[in-house]
Structure 1
Amino acid sequence: MTTAEEFKAEGNKYFIEKNFEKAIESFTNAINASTEPNYVLYSNRSGAYASLKNFKQAYDDAKECVNLNPNWPKGYNRLAGAEFGLGNLENAKQTYEKCLSLDSNNQQAKDGLKSVENALKARNTQNDLGLGAMFQDPNLISNLRNNPKTAELMKDPELVGKILNIQQNPKANATQLLTDPRLMTIMATLMGIDMDFPEENKNNTEPKQEAEQEVKEEIKEDPKEEIKEDSKEEIKDEIDNEDVEMTDASSKDTADAFKAKGNTLYKQRKFDEAIEQYDKAWNTFKDITYLNNKAAAEYEKGDYDAAIKTCELAVDEGRDMRADYKLIAKSFARLGNVYLKKQDLESAAKYFDKSLTEHRTPDVLNKLRSTQREIKIKEANAYIDPEQAEEARLQGKDFFTKGDWPNAVRAYGEMIKRAPEDARGYSNRAAALAKLLSFPDAVQDCNKAIELDPQFIRAYIRKANCQLAMKEYSHCMETLSDARKVDVQYNQSKSIKEIDDLLNKATYQRFQALEGETPEQTMERVSKDPEIVSILQDPVMQGILSQARENPAALQDHMKNPDVAKKVNMLVAAGVIRTR
């Protein structure tokens, strides 16, 4: 027949192996086999339930543990952890305070109380329990799916639906947190709170060692084993424990002194000596601030691989000891900076994003956006290939000739990606866009072509044609005026006739009678045109026109001036000057 002690030992073994289902089964058998209620067994089973996020069962067992032994501090830690997991933050706070009233030096209760107070503060900040700010990240779902702590949970479509509901209406859906413990786990992850609730100080042990230590401590709490121990030995153990607490407080002061020396050396750019001091601080007392400082020194020293290892250690240790999420965010941000220095842009962006998941700051957000822009530029530059650009141009020309305008646009777009500095790609795509009556986009492409090659006459002419089609006569005439200057200066006036013909067309269309308009109405409208008014008020033009009335042949001499010719032609088109 298997005894309660054997079942308990079996449960402890499964607990260490993290096989919590088996551990629960063994502890249940131990409870059933016990001749009298054993609070340690209920505590152990509560811990196993909590590890599976089954906080309701964890709460029931922790409650029974406290009822059986109201003076055992660890039972209250179990109970508070379960209450926290269920979202009963006020009750969890009171329970942790009860634990501290029994053992004021209980570090687990201190850390747990701090986590609960942080959660309460975040929840009470807004009417929606703080969920609006917490769930506002547009990348929330993908971040949760990539987070090891929440990846399994996010496989449930029902849970994903609840998160989306909270995003859309935080205030109306906040109460779901009280009915679904999984949402509390999600919220705790967003706040940087660890919901695993380890039993003792986890700072100096690996996960397996932590579980073994927990089990050993609970075995020592067995009532039968307590009876076997000598009372003097128990008193000695209590004194030793108090000495440890006092030493920890003293160690923190010593570690901070090492850190202060390291900071001084860092400012003096004595990075090796600073790193040595930060190591001493870390080895004296486990606070990831020391690791973050060490990584900064390694970064400045140029030892990037060492800085990466230090930051990764800071994240791992910080998770274990439930460090402030802002400190973990700094570790991730520093990893991003290191990878940025190593020109590993993808890794840098990944860690900047992780940092923002922990704690959102403008500085890191700007770095993430800047890095993402660099990645796009890098990808665009890697795509450049002049030979494939020429293939795309010829393909676009073929489509254009066949009248397949959409595929011509696509092919010329590929040409632009392959050769972004070739103005022909933009001009050719503008021609295809114009065939599709997409005139504004065509004008933009022409502007880009002109920016790349200010002497590209064809781009000016295509732009003017698009502006004429949109009845933007004034802009069209300005474009043609610029084209005329470029053609005369750089193209030996080869396109001057085409430009002038288009200019005359734009001028006459600008002042032609509108449908249903009488000649008098047309003249009245034209006389109010700002450009016509400006020409007629120009003293120089007034003198030229006055001279032309007395001697019409003199006007021909003035027309040799391009500016005067332009203004005279506009007056002729507007009907202000009539020719026979």
Structure 2
Amino acid sequence: MADLKKQQLVLSFVDFLNESMQDGTVKDDDQEGLEIAIQCIGEAFGVDPSNEAQRKQLGIKPAKLQTIFEVFLKTKDKVGSPPPASTPSAPSTSAPPKTPSAEDKKKAEKHKQTGNTQMSAKKYDGAIDSYSKAIALDPTNAVYFSNRAAAHSSKGDHTSAVEDAKKAIEVDSSFVKAYSRLGHAHYNLGEYKAAAAAFSKGTELDPTNENLKSGLKNSRDRLPPEDDDEGPPPLMPEDQLRSSSPSSTAASDATPNLSGLTDMFGGEGGMPNLAGMMNNPMMMQMTQQLMANGGLERLMSNPAVANMMGRVQSGQMPSMDELMSDPTLRDLASQFATSNTRR
């Protein structure tokens, strides 16, 4: 059985050859011979590019063979050759950035304009080449790195886009568009926390930028709750919630004024006055606060309340005495009545 890694390499190579025929890199006269070669290579390694199941197993998307090769070349250039054997302990010193001349900057701008035109025509490889030429002439301009990041993202190479966007930020940390490019690339790689961080930094520099704010929201929406630093604060336990209330100490010692509740519940024959309940401001306040702190769920789980609701549905309305005999209802009534008298 062929080695899995070799099959991945063969599939990537076959895809590269097929793309080269489709984009016009290979002349029409040479395509027939290349198709035969692709078939022979696939058969030799047991790779069938038309087999979707095999493509899912062997595919390396979103990366491509050409992209990986370009990353290798960049890494190779950065590492460079080893120091001479005669001076193994000599510290390595990187050459200072080249200071572009006025002529260099002028030529670099022309390459950038060419790249912009190629981007508009969706010729992304050509645009990358043009921006690279501009960078070679003037590596101190963050725009060139940012534009090349956009070209990489446009062709689906978001890993290279991250690298270029970071380089643009190194050159000019106040260049807002670079943070947008960086956030976009991280987002498309599924790195939502890094994307949110990039968009957040961009909004600090430009709080009115709608694209950055939208990117930040979309990134945070994809974060799991434990990774969202901007999420809502956790609910406090009931005992802490009560102790943190400004009126809790006074309420514990005060005798509540239940006249408002009496008017609200005291209908004919001790039956609740439903119209008064719905229109009473204190009842509305009580309902809003219950819904806000989770008290409504706790109230509805109380067996006495559940029994009362069952009786109401069957037409047996409880009296005021029955309502106030339940400790939970009496406690809630006391809290809200006291709160009402202290406003």
Same fold by TM-score greater than 0.5: no
Structure of larger gyration radius: 1
Bigger share in helix:
1
Band the TM-score falls in, shorter-chain normalisation = 0.3 to 0.5
TM-score (norm. length: structure 2): 0.41
Question: Which structure is richer in relative contact order (CA contacts within 8 A, separation 6 or more)?
Answer: 2
TM-score (norm. length: structure 1): 0.25
